Structure 1
Amino acid sequence: MHGACRERQGLKKAGRRPHPGSCANRAGTIILPDMTDDTLSGTGPKTAGAAAGKPAADAPPEYAEQARKLEKIRKKLAKKQEKELLGTSRGIETMFRNASRANYQLIAFADNKASIMITVNGFILSVLMASIGSTFNHTPWLVLPSFSFMLTSIVSIFYSVLAAYPRVSEKKITIQDVRDMKPEANILFFGTSANMSEEDYLKVTEEMMKDQNFLYRTMAQDNRNLGKMLLRKFKMLSLAYRVFLFGLTITLVLAVSSYIANT
């Protein structure tokens, strides 16, 4: 037998663990190191430590270093995934926040435009009504243009008031209406919460806070309702400005033609 093999057997008889390398006899037969049943079954201390992501106590230094590196990589990947999920959630919330802010700013802008139209046309209407008596006596050719401008101001004020007119429903809202995502049942709108009982409102709010999908759908529905409100306001404002522009043009044409006809 080869000298290395004899040395190996001597170590085994002495109760010492031989080197885990293999040795061969002169005939070329390979003698493998002894392996216990625990090692073969994978339940030994080394395997259990590796499964837990930690190096075993009797593992070589290079194995322990590799295990520590793998554990660091695993923790980095977990933190990266958590940051990606957090970033996605923040992005969605930022999107809804910006959309809602823009809609409310446009609503304030539309109401301001309507207020300006009401003020201007109201002033014009009051001046014309105050001076219409003297107009009949001194400048009768201005009567027709004056009536045209008065009619223009009245119609323009009418559409401006419709643009600024708030629509609030007094219909009672139930929890099922909110769950069914009905357009008139959005708890982010004050009209809905005011038409619900306090118990139903608190219950559906708690459900919404627990269900992220329900929360995002409610926010999306609220933005859509704001968009529909804006569309109605700007349609009325557009009609008010068109009527004012068209009436002003007609009034000027009538004034010029009446002046030419009376000179």
Structure 2
Amino acid sequence: MSENTEQRSSGFLPLDISLLVTMVQNNLQLISIADNKASFLLGTNFLMLIALVNYTATHTFHALLFVPVFLLGAIITSSILVLSPVYVKSSDSDISNKLFFGWVAKQEYTKYKGTYFNILKDEKEVYNLLLTDYYQTCHILSKKFLFLKLSYRLSFSFVLLFIFIFLYLASR
């Protein structure tokens, strides 16, 4: 017990890095899932768009014209929701994620290298850097899933509405 206390006061336990690695791996898997769902939804929307264009080209009834326009609006809105860029607006303006490619791209190589060498000298700074990246990635992931949820609901609602309107107009 006192050995752990001594190790804790002087630095991090080996288990700490395992926890952090597990958190990051889980987060990366969730990001991959969100990206796959967005890709699936975009593919579905474009298939509906192709079917809509084909249907409109073969049927030119004025009564049915609003249905393709309505569905097209739903597809475009859903696609925008899926593709909308997500940015992290941190309340702490001085926090910069030095693992983010945007930060790295803005640095000159010598400054970039010097910054990382300084960070690697201090174990606590390495953990701080990793936790900052994880924190900001979690915020982005949360927004991605929110936009996906809205997009799925919107797409499904408009598809159902389209089916009901089509069946109603076809039965007349």
Identity of aligned residues (%): 22
Alignment of 1:225-244 (within 5 A): 225-244=136-155
Question: What are structure 2's unaligned runs of at least 5 residues?
Answer: none
SS at match of 2:156: helix
**Cα drift, residue 84 of structure 1:** 7.5
Bigger relative contact order, structure 1 or 2 (CA pairs below 8 A, ≥6 apart): 2
Question: What are structure 1's unaligned runs of at least 5 residues?
Answer: 1-76, 168-179
Letter in 2 for 1:111: D
1:147 partnered with 2:59? no
Alignment of 1:45-124 (within 5 A): 81=3, 85=7, 89-124=13-48
Question: In the alignment, what sits opposite 1:161?
Answer: 83
Count of residues paired in the alignment: 166
Q: Specify which structure has the higher proportion of helix.
A: 2
Q: Distance in 1 between matches of 2:159 and 2:50?
A: 16
2:86–2:140 contact (8 Å) kept in structure 1: no
Letter in 1 for 2:82: S
Match of 1:182 among 94, 97, 102: 94
**Cα drift, residue 88 of structure 1:** 5.1
TM-score by length of 2: 0.81
Question: In the alignment, what sits opposite 1:213?
Answer: 124
Letter in 2 for 1:110: A
**Cα drift, residue 103 of structure 1:** 1.3
Q: Distance in 1 between matches of 2:86 and 2:40?
A: 17
1:136–1:143 contact (8 Å) kept in structure 2: yes
Task: State which structure, 1 or 2, has the greater radius of gyration over its C-alpha atoms.
Answer: 1
Q: What's the RMSD between the two structures over aligned residues?
A: 2.8
